[in-house]
Structure 1
Amino acid sequence: MTDEAIESNSVEFGTRFVTVDGKQIKLQIWDTAGQESFRSITRSYYRGAAGALLVFDITRRETFDHLVTWLEDVRKHANPNTSIMVLGNKNDLDSKRQVSREEAERFAKENDLFYLETSAKAANNVEEAFVKTTEDIYHKIKAGIFDVSNQSNGVKLGPLQGGSSLPAAGSAGGGGGCC
């Protein structure tokens, strides 16, 4: 897996490759670290996003409380079919927890979202978060929920090594590759 990242004014951009159903899918990732100063910029990122990861710190309740605002922004500015996952980060610091797993799971369930606890420091479930989100997007593409001919959905077809392709919904395959 190749990853690359660049940082610009505290907004990080990176790419990551995830394999789903034997296909390499390239993700473009924009990370604002939840900074309020980037909220107006972030809204423009949502317009072209097929997926969003909303991350809060389980040891800081205020970050959980801000999820409502971030979720409203995603739902207002993104495609209605955008795959959204809520991540409770720092599960390696369980003794300092201010938000219970049950509370976070309830929030996710009430809002029809995926929920996963992670630790960026210990690398717990980080890859899993990207894989689950990518799998959900991939299944939406295969089901025809995302129109791959319309790049404003956040999905761009491109060639893959070996000529692999992602079949469009109802097709037996075709030229190009995914994402």
Structure 2
Amino acid sequence: MGVEWKNNIDIADALERVADLLDTQDAMPFRVGAYRKAAATLANWPDSVAGLLAEQGEAGLKALPGVGKSIAATVAELVRTGHIGLLERLEGEASPEGLLASVPGIGPELAKRIHEELGITTLEALELASHDGRLERVEGFGPRRAEQVREVLAARLGATGGSVSERGPMARRTGRGRRWRCC
């Protein structure tokens, strides 16, 4: 059993981190909610979750409210190994280069150049750079590719209320979620 993951709060924090990353990557809301619900259950559980796993296995975890097969396996992995593979993958995908490379027409090398040269870390900032001409100054970009990125991002971010073209170039994101304000 992983020595550092015996505390229910630490385990709940790890599940909450998974939920946060899933949320930022637009995962299905029920999946995000499942991780949050399980995190709340484990944080408030009066007995040691690691002890429950040691005594009853994953079946004991699945008996807890809001903890299904997948989350029980995730908790077991964390307690036994000290890490969560899913969390590590999500954190890797949350890197600026990974996020930028998720846009069709931008590969890993081009994403790295955009991040390094323009300091862009979000899709909203990438879209703004595609509108204000900065993107076309990055080696590997021309007007045609910048237009393609504008169209892809307008469709992707417009569906979530985040497109610059939908809300105007002076709006910016405030806090968590998709609330926007001007200037």
Scaled by the length of structure 2, what TM-score is found? Answer: 0.26
Question: Which of these two proteins has the greater Rg computed from alpha carbons?
Answer: 2
Scaled by the length of structure 1, what TM-score is found? Answer: 0.27
Which of the pair is proportionally richer in strand? 1
Which of the pair is proportionally richer in helix? 2
